[in-house]
Amino acid sequence: MSEKLQKVLARAGKGSRREMESFISQGRVSVDGKTAFLGDRVDGTEQIRVDGHTVNLQSKDSDICRILMYNKPEGEMCTRKDPEGRPTVFDRLPKLENGRWIAVGRLDINTQGMLLFTTDGELANRLMHPSRKVEREYAVRVFGEVNDAMLQRLRNGVKLEDGPAKFNKITYRGGEGRNHWFHVVLTEGRNREVRRLWESQDVQVSRLIRVRYGDIQLQRQLPLGGWVELGLKDVNYYRNSVQLPPETQSKVKVDEKSIDNAKNRRIRRSVKKHHLRQQQSNRRRR
Q: Would you state the CATH architecture of domain 67-130+216-285?
A: 2-Layer Sandwich (3.30)
Check: CATH 3.30.2350.10 for 135-213? yes
Q: Span 3-54: which CATH code?
A: 3.10.290.10
CA distance 18 to 127: 12
Cβ atoms of 107 and 113 within 8 Å: the answer is yes
pLDDT at 110 exceeding the cut of 80: yes
Q: For the segment 228-244, what is each residue's pLDDT rounded down to a tens digit?
A: 999 999 999 999 999 99
In this structure, the number of other CB atoms found within 10 A of the CB of residue 43 comes to 9
Please, which pLDDT band fits residue 1 given cuts at 50, 70 and 90?
A: confident
- By annotation, the residues acting in catalysis are 108
The domains spanning 67-130+216-285 and 135-213 adopt the same CATH topology: yes
| Residue spans of beta strands (DSSP E) within the chain | 3-4, 29-31, 34-35, 41-42, 48-50, 53-54, 67-72, 102-103, 112-118, 136-143, 158-160, 163-165, 169-176, 179-186, 204-213, 216-217, 227-229
Sequence ranges of the domains in the chain: 3-54, 67-130+216-285, 135-213
Q: What is the mean pLDDT of residues 202-209?
A: 96
